Amino acid sequence: MTKKITISLPDELAARLTKEPNASAYVAEALRRRMSGERTREVLRKTGFTVTEAGVARVHAEMEQLKAGITPELREQAAELEAEILAARAKARG
């Protein structure tokens, strides 16, 4: 079941949605991801972990720094290893 609603968005967000062939699906997926993150944070809180915006920002910054260190050579090595693994799996199956 779906429900049609009207929302107001800042201009830059509304402009971004106009690029989507299905804006409703795009928004629905974004909300699902947000809700998933909220559920994860709630589970972490219940198990004694404290999730702060500063901590989240720090982890995001660390991830960006790690991503920046991925060179074309490392990507090539990863692709070669993946191909080897897939070949080994296929051979094992049969």
CA atoms of 93 and 87, how far apart (whole Å): 10
pTM score of the predicted model: 0.59
Nearest to 17 by CA among 8, 45, 50: 8
Domain map (residue ranges) of the chain: 9-51
Q: What pLDDT is stored for residue 94 in this prediction?
A: 82
**Tokens standing for residue 32:** 């699902």
Q: What pLDDT is stored for residue 68 in this prediction?
A: 94
CA atoms of 51 and 44, how far apart (whole Å): 8
Residue 51 has a CB neighbour count (10 Å cut-off) of 14
C-alpha 31, offset from chain centre: 12
Q: What pLDDT is stored for residue 79 in this prediction?
A: 97
Q: What is the 3-state secondary structure (H, E, C) of 35-58?
A: HHHHHHHHHHHHCCCCCCHHHHHH
Please report, in tens digits, the pLDDT of each residue of the chain (94 residues total). 999 999 999 999 999 999 999 999 999 999 999 999 999 999 999 999 988 999 999 999 999 999 999 999 999 999 999 999 999 999 999 8
Q: What pLDDT is stored for residue 46 in this prediction?
A: 95
